[in-house]
Amino acid sequence: MASLQVIVFDVCGIACALRRDAVDELLPLPCLWRPPALPRPVAGFFNLSGKAVPAIRLDVLFGLEQEQVSAEAELYRHLILIEALGASGPGALLVDRVLDIVTVRSDQFSAVPEGNTLNGCVEAEIELGGRLVHLLSLERILFAEEQQALADLRRNAQNRLGEWAVPA
């Protein structure tokens, strides 16, 4: 791997990254709707051109959630839109803040043993400016059972959204 573009973001003070080619869009946090009985990792859904898109809280998934986020901090949170978040279709990752898009060289990467790192989804660590950034694997962020549950929730949200469609 000669060089790689990554998107660097913050989750509860921990610097993480995703491969740039895996990300479709970076969005400011829209107003989310939250149907009753959603699992805690799902912050809610938003309407993106007629599609119900779930927003997944990485802080909850990784066991890092903060006691309370201030209203000001909430304004600056971002969504990282992923076209295919596992088998569940499109989804977005809710992060505290997208920090940068950088190109990293292969000598900045170090291998990470699979297992005990942020739910086992860290595929490598990147040395950037004297600090380590966790490169996350999209394939390992959600377990297969979580992907299936999310697909079912998204389907229900899409049906609800369809109920409000005005016939042409």
Domain spans of the chain, in order of start: 3-163
Determine the pLDDT at residue 102: 95
Second CATH level (architecture) for the domain 3-163 = Beta Barrel (2.40)
Confidence of residue 36 (pLDDT cuts 50, 70, 90): confident
The mean pLDDT value for 143-151 works out to: 88
The mean pLDDT value for 68-90 works out to: 78
- Say if strands 3-11 and 97-105 run parallel, antiparallel, or are unpaired: antiparallel
Determine the pLDDT at residue 6: 96
Q: What is the pTM of this model?
A: 0.88
Q: Which residues, 6+ apart, have CB-to-CB distance to 116 below 8 Å? A: none
Structure tokens at 54: 């779930």
Predicted confidence (pLDDT) at residue 45 exceeds the cutoff of 70: yes
Residue 96, CB-side half-sphere exposure with 13 Å CA sphere: 18
What percent of the chain clears pLDDT 70, i.e. is strictly above it? 89
